[in-house]
Structure 1
């Protein structure tokens, strides 16, 4: 028998980003409705999911045609206002007011012909920018899409938890909501028309995905455009142009932004020093790190005062 030394399991970029940013579903809501209704919600810094367990309704997002959500469909909503409506001719009321206050997580309008659930994904400190800046404002995963099988299974489990109303249900539902978000992001990334999915589409691209995985597996490497282009198997010029077009920022700007995002999250958690963090994310001097940090965030790095 031949034994080999264990090694660190490579982290994929999506897991890496969600973990570093402290992403989790912090609030879950439910709506049961019948008849004619419309609810408007404002744009805020968050990622939100809406999923239909029964019935159907419209999703209205500025700049996009109305989207019909039916049972089993899921959508992800970024930094945009949106309206949920049974009837496109209805004037919406303030939907946020229905859920305003502690414990106000379920709303009922007339009946239960349509049952939907929602969840708000929040991020640690101000680190949401890294992900939200690269995601489309609205993404939909129809029940008929290739990546919807896992989503259907998770929605069935969530629906079952709601119906059973048993002890431990809050914990189970919270974990299932986290899984639902990841599965919806996976399905969006693997859908047709990836070129419109920015960073998610780039992750699923055979060549750009290799470069992104390399960055996230070892962000402290002295990356150059030439090295990353070699990982992707492309010429330097073609790689730089395609990466910038798809991801929304040039390759080395992406590396720098991710390094500083990791650093800020580490300093917020505490238990480390500025010099240690600078070295871990690839800076050869603390002064260079401090200068880059100040340029990115408008203030110098400092360690957390948490106990």
Structure 2
């Protein structure tokens, strides 16, 4: 048992731990965005706007670079994959080429393949968008740019899925749309896994937290039992750390203190449930760990500016 804030509370069992990434994607209502192909040669540059989505771009042949606001150009080669969140970005043959609107080139519903002068460079793109208003919780917690190198030991699954995708994009075989959508979703998760395995210790934000054994366990415990009366001391004890050391490490890794993160996820989950009319206010308050609807209502209004009865 754990003692916290002068009261005795039972420690939740390890079976309560869940996978936070799977839970977030389920709550956010992911849906695949269209998978596309780019073939290009010579000088070219395509700019894409910021959107509430998580996108991957894979270089299947050749070389290119990706440019994000305020950052130096990042060189990519055959087999490299990058993921980009809620940020504008440009892919180009080289940094000095003036970009054109990439979205316009793919504007047609059947325009999945764009050819620009040849096929020295071939790229595949895809990813997921979110049907939930809570997408910001995930996108703000992830690095704006994640790179998975072609030679990374953890990227073998990514390479296998890309081989399958390349056989589907731009084709008109039965079930093509379904296969490419599902492959895109699996590829995205595998790319995140590969990034965690190869760069997790260097990453700030949520990915950095999942990569750390102790902080990752704490995140799983919070997501696994959202209604439990967690304290910093209780979480620290569960992961075998002192209270102060745990609080400092969690804040450094995740970018916000443990109970601030927990409160944010409780609000995110509660609004998801209320918007879908899955339960009334009192039931939702209990589900996310509030002792009374009144306390829940005050917290909800602080977060969203209106009462939970308005969704």
> Which residue, 82, 99, 107 being the options, matches 2:114?
107
Residue 78 (str. 1) matches residue 85 (str. 2)? yes
Counterpart position of 1:158: 165
Pair 1:96 & 2:83 matched: no
Residue aligned with 1:249, SS: coil
> In structure 1, what is the equivalent of residue 61 of structure 2?
54
Deviates more, 1:138-147 or 1:52-61: 52-61
Shift of 1:279: 0.8
- Shift in Å at residue 10 of structure 1? 4.8
After TM superposition, the score normalised by the length of structure 1 is: 0.91
**Structure 1 alignment gaps of length 5 or more:** 1-6
Q: 1:199 aligns with which of 202, 206, 218?
A: 206
Q: Deviations over 1:15-62 (max 9, x none)?
A: 111111112323322211122101112223322111122222111112
- Residue 156 of structure 1 deviates from its aligned partner by 0.7
* Cα distance in 2 between the residues matched to 1:110 and 1:127: 41
1:251-293 CA-to-partner distances (Å, cap 9, x unmatched) read 0011111111111111122232111111111111111111111
Matched residue count: 298
CA 1:227–1:135 in structure 2 vs 1: closer, same or farther (change >3 Å)? Answer: same
Q: What displacement does 1:303 show?
A: 7.1
CA distance in 2, matches of 1:233, 1:80: 37
The alpha-carbon distance between structure 1 residues 268 and 51, as it changes in their structure 2 partners (threshold 3 A), is same
Quote the residue 1:43 is aligned against: 50
SS at structure 1 position matched to 2:118: coil
Give RMSD over aligned pairs.
2.0
Cα offset, 1:297, TM superposition: 1.3
Corresponding residue for residue 276 of structure 1: 283
Distance 2:253 2:112 in 1: 37
1:63-96 deviation per Cα after TM superposition (whole angstroms, max 9, x unaligned): 3222222222111112222111012221111222
Task: Give the TM-score normalised by the residue count of structure 2.
Answer: 0.90
* Partner SS for 1:161: coil
For 1:286, the equivalent position in structure 2 comes to: 293
Greater alpha carbon shift after TM alignment, 227-236 vs 197-206: 197-206
C-alpha contact (below 8 Å) 1:127/1:261 kept by paired residues: yes
Q: Is the 8 A contact 1:72 1:155 kept in 2?
A: no
Matches within 5 A, 1:1-307: 10-162=17-169, 165-192=172-199, 194-302=201-309
- CA distance in 2 between counterparts of 1:151 and 1:141 reads 9
Q: Which runs of 4+ in 1 moved over 4 A?
A: 7-10
Partners of 2:306 and 2:36 in 1: CA distance: 37
Helix, strand or coil at the partner of 1:222: coil
User: How has the CA–CA distance of structure 1 residues 236 and 132 changed in structure 2, closer, same or farther, with 3 Å as cutoff?
Assistant: same
Which 5+ residue runs of structure 2 have no aligned equivalent?
1-13
Indicate if the aligned counterparts of 1:189 and 1:200 stay in contact, CA closer than 8 A: yes
Between the aligned partners of 1:105 and 1:298, the Cα distance in structure 2 is: 41
Q: Is the 8 A contact 2:16 2:225 kept in 1?
A: no
The verdict on how the C-alpha distance between 1:143 and 1:181 changes in structure 2, with shifts beyond 3 A counting, is same
